[in-house]
């Protein structure tokens, strides 16, 4: 286990634990978090191109407030891109965050990313009693590695029962990810030999967003981490495929609800790098990409 403490300033600190090996469940990454003094107002979670699952294993349940202002306590699931910037808070929080590629989310969760529609829901609503039982089991284990192993066992079992995304949709998602969101939908459709309408329909149902919006989200994610790594906004816009810096500004505001300068200072973007064991900005970006490919 790798543990890292402290981020941003004296008022914000976490213990961050990540597995020493890659998950045996393809398309899933996980990390453990134990807060050491969250700010009273909570923290903004930046949209990410994955379905996010947070499993509560501590005495103080995390509280997640979605973009509509609704509060959810305990273990939660957030759809692709979170539906926008959401907030998390609470005290004495211990939880495990999982990021699920949209390609495997349906198999593991039992509902497709499109059914979540980018919203936040409690895991109890999706899984019922088994969700509470998993949290109870996790709370009885003190070792992060044992917790990770238990979760992998649960996920592997659930994965076997679900349906996979179509090969063409899987290919289109990987093309979007590897291009960092810069590929055009027309080109995707042409390379697949599909019409735009067919691509839009199949992709939306199985991934949870239309292909153009998914590409925007992947491009935003890469730009946000570049900003957090200290790169100039103009350079990020130019390298990220934005028409200009104003275009970058509009996209960041649309996804995160704040300016690029504010996104660059968001602590959870830095924690993303720390939980993957990255010490340099470039490593931080690479590690973040690995979490949804």
**70-127 pLDDT, tens digit each:** 888 888 888 888 777 777 777 778 888 899 999 998 888 888 778 887 688 889 888 8
How confident is the model over 128-149, as a mean pLDDT?
Answer: 89
Most confidently modeled of 104-113, 132-141, 169-178? 169-178
Indicate the pLDDT class of residue 11, thresholds 50, 70 and 90. Answer: very low
Residues of the chain with CATH 1.10.10.60: 167-290
pLDDT at residue 38, as a whole number: 55
Model pTM score: 0.84
pLDDT at residue 7, as a whole number: 37
Non-local CB neighbours of 66 within 8 Å, separated by 6+ positions = 72, 78, 82, 83, 86, 119, 120
How confident is the model over 25-53, as a mean pLDDT?
Answer: 79
How confident is the model over 7-14, as a mean pLDDT?
Answer: 46
When the pLDDT of each residue in the chain is averaged and rounded to a whole number, the result is: 81
How confident is the model over 3-16, as a mean pLDDT?
Answer: 47
Please state, for a pLDDT cut of 90, what percent of the chain lies above it.
38
Nearest Cα neighbor of 88 from 98, 73, 102, 100 is 73
d(CA 245, CA 239) in angstroms, rounded, equals 11
pLDDT at residue 271, as a whole number: 64
d(CA 31, CA 54) in angstroms, rounded, equals 10
Indicate the pLDDT class of residue 285, thresholds 50, 70 and 90. Answer: very low
Residue 281 has pLDDT above 70, yes or no: no
Indicate the pLDDT class of residue 270, thresholds 50, 70 and 90. Answer: low
For residue 210, what are its two tokens?
């239309």
Q: What is the DSSP string of 122-184?
A: EHHHHH-HHHHHHHHHHHT---HHHHHHHHHHHHHHHHHHSPPPPHHHHHHHHHHHHTTT-S-
2-161: which CATH number, 2.60.120.10, 3.40.920.10, 2.40.50.140, 3.40.50.300? 2.60.120.10
Between residues 12 and 144, the one the model is more confident about: 144
Instruction: Report the 3 state secondary structure along 90-123.
Output: CCCCEEEEEEECHHHHHHHHCCCHHHHCCCEEEH
Which residues is 30 bridged to in the sheet?
A: 98
Q: For 221-263, what is each residue's pLDDT tens digit?
A: 999 999 988 999 999 999 999 999 999 999 999 998 899 999 8
Residues of the chain with CATH 2.60.120.10: 2-161
Strand ordering across the sheet containing 43-45 = 43-45, 86-89, 63-65, 71-73
Indicate the pLDDT class of residue 26, thresholds 50, 70 and 90. Answer: confident
Lowest model confidence (mean pLDDT) among 106-110, 148-152, 160-164, 223-227:
160-164
Between residues 131 and 10, the one the model is more confident about: 131
Which CATH superfamily, name and number, covers 167-290? Homeodomain-like (1.10.10.60)
Between residues 249 and 141, the one the model is more confident about: 249
Lowest model confidence (mean pLDDT) among 11-20, 121-130, 194-203:
11-20
Which residues is 52 bridged to in the sheet?
A: 78, 99
């Amino acid at each position: 286990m790798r543990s890292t403490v402290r981020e941003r300033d004296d008022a914000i600190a976490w213990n961050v634990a990540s597995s020493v090996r890659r998950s045996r469940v393809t398309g899933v990454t996980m990390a453990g978090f134990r807060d050491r003094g969250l700010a009273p107002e909570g923290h903004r979670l930046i949209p990410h191109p994955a379905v996010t699952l947070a499993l509560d294993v501590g005495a103080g349940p995390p509280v997640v407030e979605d973009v509509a202002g609704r509060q959810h306590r305990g273990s939660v699931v957030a759809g692709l891109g979170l539906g926008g910037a959401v907030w998390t808070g609470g005290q004495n929080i211990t939880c495990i965050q999982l990021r699920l590629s949209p390609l495997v989310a349906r198999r593991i969760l039992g509902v497709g990313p499109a059914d979540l529609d980018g919203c936040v829901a409690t895991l109890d609503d999706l899984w019922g009693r088994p969700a509470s039982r998993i949290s109870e089991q996790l709370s009885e284990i003190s070792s992060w590695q044992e917790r990770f192993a238990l979760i992998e066992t649960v996920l592997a079992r659930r994965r076997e029962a679900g349906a996979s995304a179509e090969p063409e949709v899987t290919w289109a998602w990987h093309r979007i990810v590897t291009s960092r969101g810069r590929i055009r939908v027309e080109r995707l459709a042409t390379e697949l030999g599909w019409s735009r309408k067919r691509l839009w329909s199949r992709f939306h149902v199985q991934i949870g967003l239309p292909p153009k919006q998914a590409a925007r989200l992947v491009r935003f994610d890469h730009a946000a981490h570049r900003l957090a790594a200290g790169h100039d906004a103009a350079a990020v816009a130019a390298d990220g495929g934005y028409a200009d810096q104003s275009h970058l500004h509009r996209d960041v505001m649309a996804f995160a609800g704040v300016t690029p300068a504010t996104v660059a200072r968001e602590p959870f973007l830095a924690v993303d790098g720390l939980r993957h064991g990255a010490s340099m900005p470039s490593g931080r970006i690479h590690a973040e990409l690995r979490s949804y490919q």
